[in-house]
Amino acid sequence: MNTPQHTLAAALHQARRIVVFTGAGMSAESGIATFRDKPDSLWAQFNTRQMATPQGWRENKQRVWAWYEGRRGAVMATQPNAGHAAIAQLAGTLQRLHGHEVQVDVVTQNVDNLHERAGSASVIHLHGSLFAPRCMACHRPGEFAPGEPDASLTELDPPRCQHCLGYLRPGVVWFGEDMPQDAFRQAEDLVDTCDAMLVVGTSGVVWPAAELPISAHNLGKFVAEINPTPSELAKYMRVQWPTSAAQGLPQLLNLLGTA
C-alpha cells in the first residue's frame, strides 16, 4: 500500500540507526504551550526581551527566575504523551522484529525533558533544558532549591552556585545566545551516521537547528516529516505524513509490527 505511513514503515524496517528530530508540536499534545501558535503561545504571554535574553536577566534576574520556575512547575505537572512513548519504544520494537540492535537517538529543540520521562535513553537538547540550571558566573551545573516550584510568584531569588556563589540561571538558550556547540556537534554526527530521520512537530524555522534535516536530505538519508501541516522543511522530505505526534507515532509502531 503506497501511503506515507507505509512508505515510512518500510524505510524504518531497513534502518539500524534512526534520528528523531522533535520540536514544540511534539509536546503541545501534552498541554505545553508552543512559542509560535497564537493566541495562546508563550510569545503572546510574555515580553521576549524581558524574559528570554541576557539583558532581561541583568535587568531583573528575580523576575526571570520566577517565570522559568513557573514554566518548570507547569511541565512537571504534565505527562509525556503517546508520541513520546512511541519514540521510546521504537528501537525495542524494531529489535524484536529483526533480531539485531537498532539505535534510536532523539535530537530535540524542546526544553521540557518529556522524552527522558517517557523512557528515551539517548536525548540531545539543542536549546537546553528547564531542568539543568547553571551558574551565570562559572557556568558549572547547579541544583534547584528544595521543594516544588511556585508558579504564583512573580519574583524569586535564584539559588547560588555551590562552587563560586554566583547566581544560577535557567539552563535554556536565550535569544542572542549561541546554541551549545557540543550538543550541535553530537547531533551533526548522528545525522552523518543515521540511516533514517524522522522530523516531528517542528515548524522548521529555528536556525541552526533546522539545518540538521536539510543536511540529512543532502546526504541522501531517508527523511520523513510527521506534522499536521507541512513545515518549512517539507521540501526536503521523502515523506510528509499529515498527522500529529500523539496520533501518528503509535500508529507507526503498530504498522511496523504488521508491515
Q: Is 86 annotated as a binding residue?
A: no
Enter the C-alpha cell of residue 181. 556547540
Q: Is 209 annotated as a binding residue?
A: no
Q: Is 203 annotated as a binding residue?
A: yes
Q: Is 120 annotated as a binding residue?
A: no
Q: Is 194 annotated as a binding residue?
A: no
Q: Is 99 annotated as a binding residue?
A: no
Q: Is 7 annotated as a binding residue?
A: no
Q: Is 236 annotated as a binding residue?
A: no
Q: Is 167 annotated as a binding residue?
A: no
Q: Is 22 annotated as a binding residue?
A: no
- The residues that are catalytic are 127
Q: Which residue numbers belong to the known binding site for NAD(+)?
A: 109-112, 201-203, 227-229, 245
Q: Which residue numbers belong to the known binding site for substrate?
A: 68, 71
Q: Which residue numbers belong to the known binding site for Zn(2+)?
A: 135, 138, 161, 164
Q: Which residue numbers belong to the known binding site?
A: 68, 71, 109-112, 135, 138, 161, 164, 201-203, 227-229, 245
